[in-house]
Amino acid sequence: MNNTYQDAQMNDASEPVNNEVKLIAFFLPQFHPTRENDLWWGKGFTEWTNVTKSKPLFSGHYQPHLPTDLGFYDLRLKETRLEQIALAKQYGLHGFCYHYYWFSGTRILNQPVDAMLADRDHDMPFCLCWANENWTRQWDAAEHEILIAQKYAPTDDLDFIKSIVPFFKDERYIRQDGKPILIVYRPQHLPDSFKSIEIWRNHCREVGIGEIHVCCALSHGNLSHTAYGFDSGVEFPPHNLEGISGLVPKQDLQVSSGFEGTVVQYEAIAGLFLNRSYRDPNIYRCVFPSWDNTARRGRRAFVVLNGTPENYEYWLNETIKKTRSEHPGEQRFVFINAWNEWAEGCHLEPDRVYGRKFLEATQRAISGASCIDSIRHDSLPQQQEQFFLHRLMGESGLDWAANVSTDALTEHLPYISCHVSIQRPQSIAIAGMRWPDLPPTIARALEKAGSKDYKIWASFNQGGEDLSASLPEEVAAHFSMVSADVTAFLSSLEDQACDLVIINCSELTQPLQNILALARKKLTHSGVIMLHGVSVESNVASTHWRDLKSEFPSYTFLNSAGLGVLLAGDSVDPFFLELNDADTANERWALTESFFKIMGSRLSAMSREHSIANTVAMQHHMMHKLEERIQDELQVLKSTLSWRITKPLRWIRKKLTKSQK
């Protein structure tokens, strides 16, 4: 047996240190166009196609899941892959396990994985999981319309392992006790798994890899790896839920008509896996952050309620502790399903509801800093108004409010702060700048939401005031301002580059229709337009806004000159889509309007109070300075010769004054 290559890799950087638990996240390389997907699903299809079409199935149902930091990325781009690696490493992940699609010599979705292998800039340990199941039009590998099948031809065992060898030889490949780990997703589909494994082992010995570690997924009812001749097994939740409790009856949810799926509590699944014991040794445990495959299965979806960062942190933390206690002094991994299964509602990558909170929970758990000792969330979704209000309050905190000035936009700063925290725009355009507090408000909201890389562009009319010099230094670093009217400013921006456009309607010199048509060209897929001054009759925008807002999802805050919000992008966060002031029965809108009117009034009052307090304090300061100056001048006067000479006269005058009284 030739162990040369194996021995050379024993001290590799990707090798876990004994008694340490390393986190490995399953990675789906589906996010780029392929010839096969073009043929089967239509030109340009990627996983994002399903993700963005998803709709809520019951009241309070979180769908669709949409990305933030990484956006709707294309895995063909090196920049995207490196950004994923940097993000994963920042929050404590050890490596990725890429799903590997091989069908009797035909490889699919291989471009990102091949590019990663060929480029050492991708400095992330990795391993492969052979997704050896049929691809079907139902997305569940059941025998419906098969798009491409696993044939298991006589030469497939050898041909398959030959395709894997280049990956095994890479120093970044993850090993167990020096042996490259290969995971097989459906061991029960192999015609003779023992024979297949023997062929794989023999070939790896012959080419200098040495021994390999073969692992199979415990999925689709399989609870044993020894039954198929594998060295280990890896859990694959939410598979193997036999005996699960916590199923939620449909009558307990306000489900939409035709819903045929299954709803279960996160707590029940986490508890099932934490308490599960296996007859076989060498089991890698696995957790998931959340699960909801509505994007793929529609009304037949499997939905897990309360897949929150806190609940995930508890499950992961307990799993890490369990792994350490079950295998002391050994190399051990804990797997996470998954890094980016967006169509399964199962991802660590930041989304528009939780941002980076799942990643932050991961970091706390692996570093031993977690303080969560129980499941935190287990309630049924209701109308979600309490959650909605809680989120508004959380995103609209006024800890900075006393520092803002009093101007026409002040009362809308709480809504803009909340909106920005949820939307997390990366490129913001402010046309007709008049508000010194708007850029700091946006910047604070983005920083609070975890965004660091953003840009704020603004314009002011000819002869107007350039407010950039008054901005805090940390805001100015993200801020650029030009002298131009609204039309010229918007025309200068790149098309499809702005996530948020804010327009001061008092600065308009053209009809609002023309301005909106121009602004819409500048929006990204999630773009939003805000117009300030739509309830001021003297503004050119007021009448046109009433006519135009019915063309797109929109709503209007009528207080303080009015703020019109136009959801003009084709993939706007669903949180905003549920707000509609045209629906008189929309309780959510009534709550929102009232909430922000109160918050705006409170902020305005706080601003005035702060302004008055500053004025009074300044007056006191001036009086104090005046008194000090008078005393100083009096002391100087008393030291003069004339003051001493006239002292008798002042004494006589004082006596005469007393006698007259």
CB-based burial label for 305 (10 Å; 0-12, 13-18, 19+): buried
pLDDT tens-digit map of 616-652: 667 777 777 777 787 877 787 777 877 778 777 777 7
> Packing angle between helix 385-395 and helix 413-423, nearest 10 degrees?
100
Contact residues for 511 (Cβ-Cβ < 8 A; gap 6+): 540, 544
Query: Is residue 18 over pLDDT 70?
Result: no
Predicted confidence at residue 536, as pLDDT, reads: 76
Query: Is residue 450 over pLDDT 80?
Result: no
Fold of 4-367: TIM Barrel (3.20.20)
Closest to 202 measured CA to CA, from 184, 214, 190? 214
> Packing angle between helix 193-206 and helix 156-168, nearest 10 degrees?
50
Numbered ranges of CATH 3.20.20.80 in the chain: 4-367
Residue 381 has φ and ψ, to the nearest 5°, of -70, 135
Confidence of residue 5 (pLDDT cuts 50, 70, 90): very low
The reported pTM is 0.62
Cα distance between the two ends of the chain: 125
Contact residues for 246 (Cβ-Cβ < 8 A; gap 6+): 264, 265, 267, 268, 269
Predicted confidence at residue 481, as pLDDT, reads: 87
pLDDT tens-digit map of 159-217: 999 999 999 999 999 999 999 999 999 999 999 999 999 999 999 999 999 999 999 99
Looking at the DSSP assignment, which residues form a beta bridge with residue 26?
97
* E strand residue ranges, 485-620: 498-504, 523-532, 554-557, 563-566
Contact residues for 624 (Cβ-Cβ < 8 A; gap 6+): none
Query: Is residue 407 over pLDDT 60?
Result: yes
d(CA 67, CA 340): 10
d(CA 26, CA 97): 5
Identify whether the C-beta of residue 303 lies closer than 8 Å to the C-beta of residue 261.
yes
Identify whether the C-beta of residue 470 lies closer than 8 Å to the C-beta of residue 396.
no
Predicted confidence at residue 119, as pLDDT, reads: 97
Query: Is residue 388 over pLDDT 50?
Result: no
**Region 17-24: what's the mean pLDDT?**
76
Within 13 A of 537's CA, how many CA atoms are on the CB side?
Answer: 0
Class of domain 388-608: alpha beta
Cis? peptide before 401, omega within 30° of 0: no
Numbered ranges of CATH 3.40.50.150 in the chain: 388-608
Q: What is the mean pLDDT of the chain?
A: 85
Predicted confidence at residue 9, as pLDDT, reads: 39
pLDDT tens-digit map of 548-571: 777 788 898 988 888 999 998 877
Helix (H) or strand (E) holding 389: helix 385-395
Looking at the DSSP assignment, which residues form a beta bridge with residue 332?
21
Alpha helices in 144-290 (DSSP H): 156-168, 193-206, 266-275
Identify whether the C-beta of residue 117 lies closer than 8 Å to the C-beta of residue 166.
yes
d(CA 357, CA 341): 17
Cα separations (Å) of 80 from 76, 83, 172?
8, 5, 19
